[in-house]
Amino acid sequence: MSTTTPNPANTGTAVGSAATPLLQVDGVTAFYRDLQALFGITLKVMPGEIVALIGANGAGKTTLLRVISGVKQAAAGSVKFEGADVSRVPAHRMVARGVSHVPEGRQVFPFLTVRENLSLGAYTSRARASMKQSMEEQLALFPRLGERMNQLAGTLSGGEQQMVAIARGLMAKPKLLLLDEPSLGLAPKIVDEVFDKIQSVRQTGITMMIVEQNVVSGLSIADRGYVIQTGTVLLEDTSSNLLKNEMVRAAYLGL
């Protein structure tokens, strides 16, 4: 199922040569008051890749996504996007630059309709200009949402809410989509459906970083993965090697 071929539609989005990472994180540390959550994380995402982040509860995966999307500032180290240092760029400006963060826990606005939830994703001027077209793209990708455009998002099933959360992230027209545990709390059949949608998103040329506790599913759609442990990168490899790795199998697959 996984492929290591970067999507050609996306290779042109990198500034400079095709060898320029879309995202480069170097030595990032982060704290919550005096609690250190990240201890010098270094990783990269190439254009067109799907990169998985795996690791136990509390390892720092969500914190890392927050630092990348500008929701949280790193205490040290740097984040580069398309070759430019964005370490001090706030979240709303990161969205405008093309980084969209779908947070954990299917965060939809429950008392707004599906249509309103999607529209809110297109708040940058670039995204607003093509709102109608992106709405149509989302409905092509998630036909089930089309039947529920006027339904309050809080009344959708868990799987449908996750699709709204992803579709809202895509409304911002990202180059890099950060997905935090898209399968959390969903039944296995719905998990498969969400992962199928993620594959379809990839076909549109969007690069992704996915945090997953569902290690097999996460790695099967990813090109490469990083194992995060207590705020550090413990292992990095191709997904197929990680799936074969003894430590990964023992710690995360119970094998």
Q: Is 59 in the site for ligand ATP (CB under 6 A)?
A: yes
Q: How many residues bind Mg ion (CB under 5 A)?
A: 1
90 binds, among Mg ion, ligand ATP, none (CB under 5 to 8 A by kind): none
Q: How far is CA 158 from CA 70, 103, 153, 187, in A?
A: 27, 14, 10, 9
59 binds, among Mg ion, ligand ATP, none (CB under 5 to 8 A by kind): ligand ATP
Which residues fall within 8 angstroms of residue 8, CB to CB, at 6 or more apart?
A: 48
Piece of the chain touching ligand ATP by CB under 6 A; list 41-49, 50-58, 109-117, 141-149: 50-58
Piece of the chain touching Mg ion by CB under 5 A; list 54-62, 123-131, 148-156, 197-205: 54-62
Scan for tokens 């042109």, then name that residue. 12
Measured from the CB atom, is 72 or 173 closer to Mg ion? 72
Q: Is 55 in the site for ligand ATP (CB under 6 A)?
A: yes
Q: Is 63 in the site for ligand ATP (CB under 6 A)?
A: yes
Q: Is 69 in the site for Mg ion (CB under 5 A)?
A: no
Scan for tokens 């599913």, then name that residue. 217
Helix (H, G, I), strand (E, B) or coil at 94: helix
**Which of 6, 47, 48, 60 contacts ligand ATP by CB under 6 A?**
60
Measured from the CB atom, is 104 or 116 closer to ligand ATP? 104
Helix (H, G, I), strand (E, B) or coil at 44: strand
Q: In the structure encoding, which two tokens stand for residue 130, read together?
A: 């093509």
Q: Is 179 in the site for ligand ATP (CB under 6 A)?
A: no
Which residues fall within 8 angstroms of residue 4, CB to CB, at 6 or more apart?
A: 223, 238
**Which of 62, 69, 162, 207 contacts Mg ion by CB under 5 A?**
62
Q: Is 183 in the site for ligand ATP (CB under 6 A)?
A: no
Please give the Cα distance from 185 to 181 (Å, whole number).
Answer: 9
Beta strands 224-229 and 232-238, pairing class: antiparallel
Cβ atoms < 10 Å from Cβ of 114: 29
Please report how close the Cβ of residue 109 comes to ligand ATP at its closest, in angstroms: 21
Please give the Cα distance from 192 to 133 (Å, whole number).
Answer: 27
Question: With contact defined as beta carbons under 8 Å apart, do 139 and 106 qualify?
Answer: no
Q: Is 25 in the site for ligand ATP (CB under 6 A)?
A: no
Q: Is 58 in the site for ligand ATP (CB under 6 A)?
A: yes
Measured from the CB atom, is 11 or 107 closer to Mg ion? 107
Please give the Cα distance from 247 to 194 (Å, whole number).
Answer: 27
Residues that bind Mg ion (CB under 5 A): 62
Which parts of this chain interact with ligand ATP (CB under 6 A)? 32, 35, 37, 55, 57-63, 104
